[in-house]
Structure 1
């Protein structure tokens, strides 16, 4: 389809720009590690298609060898007309709809050790037993250009553990994060979002999935609602 070709061209343009701040995405693109799935919409057929691709991706990711050269992300690209509205808020609402629907068809239990309440620093999106980080990039962003990959809404999905390995709360990880955030500020032309942080340490994951344009505090409530049958972690769910 034409929109798929256009989306790949636009993403390619971003990730071949030496100034694009996410060095991990640029490395994955350069080494042809990106896994693409094209999703026509957020309806039941689109969700089933994405869930099938995500199930396969998670199965492969569980056998990851720990190398940066095999740390491929899943890039879920939606048709440009999948989202009703052109604002950042409309795209974020669509993104949370997609994650909620994926959760409703999740074949696995919620993993132990991961909070189910997004208000907890220990929460992250999970699928088939794997904690994930889901970057919501969309064309509504005019200020945060680093979160705009073209005319399509895009979910860039990575296993949570890979951030812990390469950019965790270690001296080398903190150095990597500082470098990326400095690059974000230069690329966007504004200071990086104050919501950016490290998993489980003073930051909420869901804020970081979909960043707002303004450098301001947030009082909005995460729309994600865990299934009642998804299991619980009584020690880290508060």
Structure 2
């Protein structure tokens, strides 16, 4: 437990530039306080005590705004940043050196007993407001974008964004764990693809209109020429007929 406390304490200075001294971290960081109280309640929970562990977690929730069930397993060096509104269920497992932001829920999806909460690997980052629901396996070095809802297993070294969560691979590019706001937006990418497709189709339509206009112009010109020729023929025919009529009438007089 002492080694876990040291790791929990040190990781804050590594990941939070606002951390200035040990006194401030110890008394003014609710994430650290919630984890320390959880480690006590979890130890008592493993001893089989029926009431005290839940009461300690209830006090921790009142003091920090972070709710961690005594049965949850929290690895060493886990940092809950800000922490307000974080909920971690009874059978959840959080791997070493994971980073959890405010408003995160590691919850279940029903009333079934047994393992019903997610398992997070090591070095996982869960962005603000993200929800990971059900008995899921989240691999090591996974990044879950803010506001995402994860309902399926996620392999290691992947990034998940969106509702529901979708995998976004960033091959060869390291994602800084503190830059979860710079994660790729798959929905925006899809919209950009659709917009580009629409623009391409509009260009094709304009080209078809231009070619159609040229064809119509050629057709009109051809019809115009044909009409003039027909008019000339018709006038000649009429002239011939008029001549024949005149001759006929003249001959009958």
TM-score by length of 2: 0.27
Q: From the CA coordinates, give the structure whose radius of gyration is larger.
A: 2
Higher relative contact order (CA 8 A, sep 6+): 1
Q: Comparing both structures, which one devotes a greater share of its residues to helix?
A: 2
TM-score (normalizing by structure 1): 0.28
